[in-house]
A and B are shown apart, each in its own frame.
Chain A
Amino acid sequence: MIRVRDLEKCYAPARPVLKGLRFAIEAGEVFGIVGRSGAGKSTLLRCFNGLETYQGGSVEVMGRQVKDLDSAGLKALRQDMGMIFQHFSLMSRKNVYENVAFPLHIWHTPKDRAHGRVMELLELVGLTEKKEERIQNLSGGQKQRVGIARALALNPKVLLCDEATSALDPDTTVTILDLLLDINRRLGITIVVVTHQMEVVRRICGRVLLLDGGRNVALGGVEDLFLAPPLGLEKFVEQEFTFVPGGTNIRLMFPRSISQQAVITTMARDLGVGFSIVGGRLDRYRDDVLGFLIINVADQDLDAVLGYMREKHLHWKVLP
């Protein structure tokens, strides 16, 4: 769907933004681009639909080289790619209906066809009742629903989401993410999300690219990244926890195969040793529960515990 090869982008020769990126996004997946602010995520996203230019390498979207497109070609490409924004970017003087209809008017869709499409979209995002409402009277979540409906108006094959839930409260974030996942599954639209929220990655992404300073730090399935986080992602995965002084801290990860089993209690019973749980997190990941626990093992029990974990093929890591 989107193939990026050796992408280089800089605002000035001395200020590179994206360095040597190389990855591909497959049709139908939900792909995350993660990183701290200033990592180049949003810039990368805008290279896909030509809102940003790039200096080196290639970005191939649906078989088209973005760099080589003339203005008509770019227009056609953008018809196939919807985009939603952090601050919704809706037109304040148009109501809900008119905002959703706007891309259709831009593309000169006949009135009756446009009307049918808008009503369909409002139904999809659950705003049929609010179609006459002015944008300023909507909540943040409703505004983003309008944004999603507008982005889908032209039947795009790809939906680009730029920090789409960053301005929303946690509960609204969840409903918007569920809507996006639903759109991905029901309509088969490829979704690319740019985010700094781990919540978003866990809930909807299949694979993620982690960016830091414009470089690829990690690329892979969300589950793999959670189970064995590379250095950069560790900070994301591990939230604050208190270390118990003395002993050794071990992080135990729970992939989908064993997360439901009482690993900790079984191990304690089998080995006859005690250990304290000093931190951890269990989260819903797409349809599963996924997470980690950090246990503190006394030094004399360490070998036994490590042997046990090796034997049972658990995912673990001794923390420094």
Chain B
Amino acid sequence: MIGELFRATLETLYMVSLSTFFSLVLGFGLAVVLIMTAPGGLRPNPGLYRALDATVNLLRSFPFMILMIALIPVTSFIVGMAIGSTAAIVPLTVAATPFMARLVEGSFLEVDPDVVEAARSFGASDSQIIFRVLLTEALPSIVLNTAVLAIALLGYSAMAGAIGGGGLGAFAYNYGYLRFRTEMMFYAVVLLIVIVQAIQTGGNILYRRLR
């Protein structure tokens, strides 16, 4: 039983860390496009901006459960199967990417526009402004937002367990709820609490070091 709990914990960490990584990368890219094409951005493009903006809102308005089921064909196509921890990473990433894009966009918007103007005044190119000004200045805030995202994904991953993703959520449901092993549910919840605390504390420490 303890071995089972251990495996569930590993599954949860696997799902959360990989989906956080992928949604961070994709969300960052999306945020860069949003910030560049926004009115007053480096390359304003109202059409593209509005389309992306609407898409992000659309994806964010899906309940995760529905999104997960709707994505089953896509998931099968990408990972070759629709159930299991690896398969769960696809809907988790799709759900988290627009969320992360908004968070990173917010971090970018907090950067003083005068600093961007100063960089332009001594000849920085658009990519230098993105990676060496915006990213540098927004990094502490992006780190904190990544912790927020990872914790949200931890919650989603418990739901992903419901369609065979495994992990602590599924463990608590299967043993604690279906088999009336309340102490198993208790252990699973304690482990989830520990993971949330660890993510947030890690984020805070990194934030303070970077700032």
Residues of A at the B interface (CB closer than 8 Å) are: 49, 51, 71, 74-76, 78-79, 81-83, 85, 87, 89-94, 102-103, 105-107, 150-151, 153-154, 160
Cross-chain contact of B123 among A91, A107, A160 (Cβ < 8 A): A107
Known contacts A51-B120, A83-B118, A85-B114, A91 near B125 by CB under 8 Å? no
B87-109: CB near A (< 8 Å → 1, else 0) gives 00000000000000000000000
Interface size of B by Cβ–Cβ distance < 8 Å?
A: 21
In contact, A79 and B123 (Cβ under 8 angstroms): yes
Q: Is the CB of A51 within 8 A of B114?
A: no
Q: Assess the A92–B137 pair: CB atoms within 8 A.
A: yes
Task: Name the residue of chain B whose CB is nearest to the CB of A50.
Answer: B120
Q: Out of A93, A94, A153, which one reaches B122, CB within 8 Å?
A: A153
Report whether B122 and A154 are in contact in the complex, using a CB–CB cutoff of 8 Å. Answer: yes
Q: Which residues of A contact B123 (CB under 8 A)?
A: 74-76, 78-79, 103, 106-107, 154
Contacts across chains A and B counted by CB atoms under 8 Å: 67
CB-nearest residue of chain B to A105: B132
B211 at the interface (CB under 8 A from A): yes
B136 interface contact, C-beta 8 A = yes
Interface of chain B residues 15 through 61 with chain A (CB within 8 A): none
Chain A hits for B133, CB < 8 A: 91
The answer for the CA separation of A160 and B123 in the assembled complex, in Å, is 14
B118 shortest CB reach to chain A, Å: 4
CB closest chain-B residue, reference A92: B137
CB of B4 within 8 Å of the partner chain: no
Whether B190 is near chain A, meaning CB under 8 Å from some CB there, is no
Contacts of A160 in B (CB 8 A): 121
**Across the interface, which residues of A come within 8 angstroms of B125, CB to CB?**
71, 75
Any A CB within 8 A of the CB of B128: yes
**Pair B137/A150 contact, Cβ less than 8 Å:** no
Interface string of B120-155 (1 = CB under 8 A from A): 111111001000110011011000000000000000
Nearest 4 Cβ contacts at the A-B interface = A89-B118, A78-B123, A83-B121, A103-B122
Please tell me if the beta carbons of B121 and A93 are within 8 angstroms of each other in the complex: no
Contacts of A85 in B (CB 8 A): 114, 117-118
| Complex interface: chain B residues within 8 A of A49 (CB) | 121
Bound-complex Cα distance A229 to B47 (A): 51
How far in angstroms is the closest Cβ of chain A from B178?
51
Question: Is B115 an interface residue, CB under 8 A from the partner?
Answer: yes
